[in-house]
Amino acid sequence: MSYSLNVNGQTFEVDVDGDTPLLWVVRDHLGMTGTKFGCGMAQCGACTVHIDGEASRSCVLPVSAAAGRQITTIEGLSSNAARAVQQAWVEVQAPQCGYCQSGQIMSASALLAKNSNPSDAEIESAMSGNICRCGTYSRIKAGIRRAADAINAGEVA
Amino acid sequence: MGKFQNNLQQHAPGRRQFLKLAGLGGAGLVIGLRLDPRAALAQQSGTPALSYNAFVSVTPDNQVRVLIKHLEMGQGIYTGLATCVAEEMDADWSQIVCEHAPADTEKYANLGMGLQATGGSTGMANSYQQMREAGAAARAMLVMAAAQHWNVPVADISVAAGVVRHGPHSATFGELAAAAAAQTAPAVDSLVLKNPSEFIYIGNPDLPRKDIGKNTGTALYTQDVQLPGMLTAVVAHSPRFGGKVRSFDASAALAVNGVQAVFEIDSGVAVVAQDYWTASKGREALKVEWDDSNAEMRGSKELAELYRSLLETSGTLAEKEGDAESVLSAAGEYLEASFEFPYLSHAPMEPMNCVAQINGNSAELWYGCQFQTIDQMVVAEMIGGRPEDVVINTLFAGGGFGRRANPFSDYIVETVNIAKQHPGIPVKLVWSREDDIRGGFYRPAFMHKLSASLGPDGKPQAFKARLVGQSIMEGTPLAEMSVVEGVDVSSVEGLVELAYHVPNRLVELHSPKVGVPVQWWRSVGNTHTAFSKEVFIDLLARNAGIDPVEYRLSLLEHNPKESAVLRLAAEKAGWGRDLPANTGQGVAVHSSFGSSVAEIVEVSVAGDRFKVERVVAVIDCGTVVNPDIVKAQVEGAVALGLSTALGDELTLTDGLVDQSNFHDYQVLRMSDMPEVEVYFVDSDLPPTGVGEPGTPAIAPAVANALAAITGKTYTRLPLKIG
Ligand code: FES
Ligand code: FES
């Protein structure tokens, strides 16, 4: 079946079964591999994308449900919040193996787009679905705080 | 589709072959050898690189490329080894680009192992001198070229930040690249390395990491490899370890639109398609009957009963010092505790995967390769080629924690077995998370019984440890080196050569044969030995009514390194400070992989839940090459160790693994991660291990903090208060 997908502001036609998770459409059919596979059951967050601005686990989102919506992957991040997060990630040297970090950055930027001054509890709740086996959590938290400060100080244009 | 028979039964390299390789010793020191052009793999720059030695090349457009012989899996080895090169080369940090070295044991052996391999926290320790020499040799060639060009003495030339200067002359490395590459490489013993006081990069906490692309989704992992015509494969594995395919019905799988082939291999039934989702739908539709006649049918309960009974009988002698038995059986105060540790899965975020293309008797592979020499030999044997006919492109790995260095090359063999059926076509094997959690090669389950008899001062006069757990090394090509008189040294490390002074010691080991495959897991035997040792010593301290830090220090007088990390941790943590109700401090100290680490935690308890609020970690790992990366490694090691204290536990029922994914294999999440403060003991000694030594001390420190609050002793991981 053919689906029309809006990914990172571009329209793509894909011919796949409707139950194919968006993750595999993006990775295997569109060739965008920044979005990662970690569990396939909405447990780890490695596959996080934005659907109409909301952080969403693409490994359990059927392509049929993603059609017609604004899909943003790590390759298409461009919002202020996202750029602040990516900059902060460089500054705190968040990644170790890096495999979880696309998903972490997608979750963090969705959080900051809605709430540019999150409390620790709000950060933990927004990030609770993102596992990092390398244990970079403290740096991720520090990165989110730093990005929030940059946004609030108007340093991100 | 019929069964494809596979005649290759034996994939592990023959022991003799392995030993020959192991005997290569220091053959990795190749300064002065010109590198064959194949080594310059990736093309980050538009211009070809000119090689100075096996590790360093320079492009005319002024990039310095450093070939990294170790797998970058998050531990920061790209940055670490590049730091050593940049330091001695006087390069500018921004011009340094890293790439993985090709598989070539002669050039890229781990000097501590004689194999090209990453592990045992040896990455920096074995490369420090070698990479500094590689940088110094490249610098010398640049200087010689400049001296010729300007017709000035070599001695009068200075180099800084990638620019070579003499009086009014100056040239970038790029401008001198070709002329320098044409120089004769200097002899290693002619190189003069810097004094630590001259270091600008080594010890610098502000160097940006060189494993880039991880903040933008552009870093390339095995999972991301896309090659023309590539197929994707998944495998239906036996649900029980040791199970074999009895029969299978592929018709429903082949009816899935897009499934191209279904066939039996040694390790199960492979389903091949154009993409992952199609292949996994095919696997779901596949019907397989399994033959369990050689399978492990026992569960954790039966194994625990066996282990508990073995704990009551004497085992193989691992260490004997003095006469512990008679001191223990004499009258006097006596303490004993038994400990239990479950199987653990590594569960790195990127599940196992590998891409292989087989062309007759040669092969090309792309994956996060941790064991180049062994994987090359194993694959060569499978395809009837020579090891050098197996080209390995090492890619970033999404974590490893030990799993990717498999002594049998398990998932690589699986990939090659599938790719052989599609000659000339690249095939990507993808494991799901379920394949990973249920795929074996776990940290072995263990039980320990520790006993001590105490003198009138409350100090141990005799110490005895009896351990029960599967051997990791037995039956692998590494057994020759690591199983000594029936004792797998990795089973008892940390409890033999006890850090604490006890005059009479006895360590015994039982290594039962169980059909569950086991493997090293970040810090290996220390994952369990540090726990029992440190919980037990705390118990002895409390029993004697002596402060646990004081008690330890009194038994560590002969051990300045552990004493120093412990003292500094106590100082930084404010050991003994006033804390809120239901909050306590706990301490542990342990040495592994040449480094010593002390960790002090603050833990709060509410009902049957506890939270680790703060961790102070002190490491003595010799020279700290990249302080920020060492900190990150200790943070990560603490997180992984804490995960085992809080929830990681893999169990079996009737031979079937009970867990399958992160919903039931519970790993640490952000809300359980404390702030970790990392401090160093100053040292000018050569670097020692960093990746693993932070792991062992955290779980016992937490258990000891709980004990300080509740007065109970915690002897089982994961920890439960109730
Ligand atoms: S891969 Fe989607 S949440 Fe893990
Ligand atoms: S950086 Fe490795 S899993 Fe997060």
DSSP label at B519?
Answer: -
Shortest distance between the Cα of A24 and any Cα of chain B, in A, equals: 7
The CA–CA distances, whole Å, from B449 to A35, B463, B509, B510 equal 47, 11, 10, 12
**Torsion sign across C-alpha atoms B83, B88, B90, B95:** negative
Q: What is the DSSP pairing of strand B362-367 with strand B390-394?
A: parallel
CATH no. for A80-152:
1.10.150.120
Q: Find tokens 């999972």 and name the residue.
A: B223
Q: Specify if B31 maps to a domain.
A: yes
Shortest distance between the Cα of B635 and any Cα of chain A, in A, equals: 7
B 340-399 residues with CB < 8 A to A: 347-351, 396-399
**Torsion sign across C-alpha atoms B363, B364, B367, B370:** positive
**B548-555 helix and B526-544 helix, angle to the nearest 10 degrees:** 110
Q: Specify if B262 maps to a domain.
A: no
What is the predicted pLDDT for the residue at B48?
Answer: 81
Walk across the sheet containing B163-166 and list its strands: B158-160, B163-166, B169-172
My answer on whether B27 and B164 are in the same domain is yes
Instruction: For residue B653, list its beta bridge partners.
Output: B656
What is the predicted pLDDT for the residue at A47?
Answer: 98
Residue B358, Ramachandran bin (φ over 0: left; ψ between -120 and 50: alpha; else beta): beta
| Interface contact flag, B401 A133, Cβ < 8 Å | yes
A 28-47 residues with CB < 8 A to B: 28-29, 31-41, 43-44, 46
Phi, psi (degrees; rounded to nearest 5) at B622: 70, -150
Q: Specify if B99 maps to a domain.
A: yes
Beta carbons within 10 angstroms of residue B322's beta carbon:
15
My answer on whether B201 and B306 are in the same domain is no
Cα dihedral value B268, B270, B275, B281, nearest 10: -70
Read off the amino acid at residue B238.
S
**CA nearest A106: which of A131, A82, A133, A88?**
A82
My answer on whether B486 and B601 are in the same domain is yes
My answer on whether B535 and B660 are in the same domain is yes
Chain B residues within an 8 Å CB radius of A60: none
* Structural domain boundaries, residue B66: 2-216
Contact call for residues B285 and B252 (beta carbons, < 8 A): yes
Rounded Cα distance, A130 and B91, in Å: 38
Of the pLDDT bands very low, low, confident and very high (cuts 50, 70, 90), residue A157 is low
Contact call for residues B163 and B172 (beta carbons, < 8 A): yes
Peptide bond into B718 cis (omega under 30): yes
User: In the predicted model, what is the mean pLDDT of chain A?
Assistant: 97
CATH of the domain at B451: 3.30.365.10
Q: What is the domain partition of chain A in residue ranges?
A: 2-76, 80-152
My answer on whether B209 and B317 are in the same domain is no
Tell whether domain A2-76 is in CATH 3.30.565.10: no
Interface test with B, best of A47, A50, A64, A93 (most B CBs within 10 A): A93
Which of B155, B183, B216 corresponds to the end of one domain?
Answer: B216
- The upper half-sphere exposure of residue B210, i.e. CA atoms within 13 Å in the direction of its Cβ, equals 27
My answer on whether B305 and B172 are in the same domain is no
Rounded Cα distance, B10 and B18, in Å: 14
What is the predicted pLDDT for the residue at A155?
Answer: 84
For the question of an ipTM over 0.85, the answer is yes
**Mean pLDDT per segment of 10 residues, for chain B of length 722 residues?**
30 32 28 29 61 95 97 98 98 98 96 93 96 98 97 97 97 97 94 97 97 97 97 98 98 97 98 98 98 98 98 98 95 94 98 98 98 97 97 98 96 98 98 98 98 96 98 93 95 97 98 98 98 98 98 98 98 97 97 98 96 98 98 98 97 98 98 97 96 98 97 97 82
Look up residue B261 and give its two tokens: 């082939």
Beta carbons within 10 angstroms of residue B547's beta carbon:
16
Rounded Cα distance, A84 and A93, in Å: 14
Instruction: For residue B365, list its beta bridge partners.
Output: B356, B392
pLDDT in tens, B541-558: 999 999 999 999 999 999
What is the predicted pLDDT for the residue at B4?
Answer: 31
Taking the Cβ of residue B673 and every Cβ of chain A, the question of whether any pair is shorter than 8 Å is answered with yes
Domain count, chain B: 2
My answer on whether B331 and B198 are in the same domain is no
Shortest distance between the Cα of B234 and any Cα of chain A, in A, equals: 14
Q: Which residue of B has its CA nearest to A90?
A: B215
Largest CA distance in chain A: 48
DSSP label at A129?
Answer: T
Please give the sequence-ordered ranges of beta strands (E in DSSP) within B360-511, or none if there are none: 362-367, 390-394, 427-430, 446-454, 460-469, 483-484, 487-488, 504-510
Q: What is the DSSP pairing of strand A70-72 with strand A2-7?
A: parallel
**CA nearest B399: which of A127, A135, A137?**
A135
pTM of the model as a whole = 0.94
Residues constituting chain A: 157
What is the predicted pLDDT for the residue at B28?
Answer: 25
What is the predicted pLDDT for the residue at B331?
Answer: 82
Q: Which residue of B has its CA nearest to A126?
A: B670
Nearest 5°: the CA angle B590, B471, B696 is 20
What is the predicted pLDDT for the residue at B546?
Answer: 98
Look up residue B634 and give its two tokens: 């200790």
B 396-435 residues with CB < 8 A to A: 396-401, 430, 432-433
Chain B residues within an 8 Å CB radius of A90: 208, 215
Which of B200, B216, B232 corresponds to the end of one domain?
Answer: B216
What is the predicted pLDDT for the residue at B46?
Answer: 61
Rounded Cα distance, B457 and A154, in Å: 64
Instruction: For residue B261, list its beta bridge partners.
Output: B272
| Interface contact flag, B433 A90, Cβ < 8 Å | no
Rounded Cα distance, B468 and B528, in Å: 11
Taking the Cβ of residue B184 and every Cβ of chain A, the question of whether any pair is shorter than 8 Å is answered with no
Contact call for residues B73 and B400 (beta carbons, < 8 A): yes
* DSSP H or E run through B495: none
**B372-383 helix and B15-22 helix, angle to the nearest 10 degrees:** 140
SS (H, E, C) B301-360: HHHHHHHHHHCCCCCEEEEEECCHHHHHHCCCEEEEEEEEECEECCCCCCCCEEEEEEEC
My answer on whether B309 and B204 are in the same domain is no
Chains A and B form CB pairs within 8 A to the count of 167
Taking the Cβ of residue A53 and every Cβ of chain B, the question of whether any pair is shorter than 8 Å is answered with no
Rounded Cα distance, B535 and B32, in Å: 51
Which of B216, B244, B266 corresponds to the end of one domain?
Answer: B216
User: In the predicted model, what is the mean pLDDT of chain B?
Assistant: 93
Of B628, B662, B673, the CB nearest to A93: B628
